[in-house]
Amino acid sequence: MSERNDEKTCGALKRAMPPVEDRELKRDLWPAMLRRLDERPIRVPWFDWALVALLAALFFIFPGVIPALLYHL
């Protein structure tokens, strides 16, 4: 690209994305994040429990699959 094209591209980018005036945060976000993590209980959907039960049953019925699975992990 020529220097003129570079200048035109740079000018177009500056017009499309004006500089941000206020870049500082108004407050610290980490305490709010810790509160959200503390108040949210860990929920496991029922289909995850069904999948665990199915895998346990398959491992009980076909125990030879366990070494093959561990080999591929």
Residue 17 maps to a domain? no
- Cα–Cα distance measured from residue 11 to residue 3, given in angstroms and rounded to the nearest whole number: 12
CA angle in degrees (0–180, nearest 5) for 32-25-29: 15
Confirm whether 49 is domain-assigned. yes
- Residue 2 belongs to some domain of the structure: no
pTM above 0.75, yes or no: no
Q: What pLDDT is stored for residue 1 in this prediction?
A: 55
Give the total number of structural domains in the chain.
1
Q: Supply the pLDDT for residue 38.
A: 87
Examine residue 68 and state whether it is found in any structural domain, yes or no.
yes
Show the domain range for 58. Answer: 45-73
Give the pLDDT confidence of 18-61 residue by residue, as tens digits: 777 777 778 888 998 899 888 878 889 999 999 999 999 999 99
Per-residue pLDDT band for 2 (boundaries 50, 70, 90) equals: confident
